[in-house]
Amino acid sequence: MRVRRLDRTSLVAGVVIVITGIILLLDRLDAIDLRFGYGLPLLIATLGAILLAAGLEGPPDRD
């Protein structure tokens, strides 16, 4: 039986998107005040983490 391996890119992307989404949700609910000073680094770090994970892992397995 073929066992599908863990796709780390999806995992990393999911984690950083959940974290960023929660921060944005808190801002929209006025629990925090997101400013450009740390909002833009957050977005760039999100994108960078996904690209880094994809680059380190390589292309996904194709059946």
Partner 1 sequence: MTEDTTPQTPENPAPEPEPEPRRLTRSGSDAVIGGVASGLGRYFGVDPILFRIGFVVLAFVGAAGVVAYLALLVFVPSDGEPRPAGTGSRAIAVGGTIVLGCVLVTFLSPPLFFFGPGLLVVALVGLAGYLLWRALGGRADGDPARTVGRIVVAALIGVAALGAALGVGLAAALGGGVVIASLAVVAGLALIGTAFVGGARWLIVPALVLVLPLGVVSAAGIEFDGGVGDREYRPATMSQVRDQYDLGAGSMVVDLRDIDLPQGRTDLNVDVGLGEAVVYVPSGACITSDVQVGAGASDILDRENNGVDVDDVNAGTPPTGRPELHIDADIGLGVVEVVREGHLRDQFDGNQFNRFGDRVEVDDDEGTLCA
Cα within 13 Å of Cα(28), Cβ side: 6
For the window 2-41, what string marks contact with partner 1 as x by the rule CB under 8 A? --xxxxxxxx-xxxxxxxxxx-xx-xxx----xxxx-xx-
Instruction: Report the nearest approach of partner 1 to the CB of residue 53 (Å).
Output: 10
Helix-strand-coil split of the chain, %, nearest 5: 70, 0, 30
1 lines the binding site for partner 1 (CB under 8 A):
no
CA distance 47 to 41: 10
Query: Which residues contact partner 1 by CB under 8 A?
Result: 4-11, 13-22, 24-25, 27-29, 34-37, 39-40, 42-43, 46-47, 50-52, 54-61
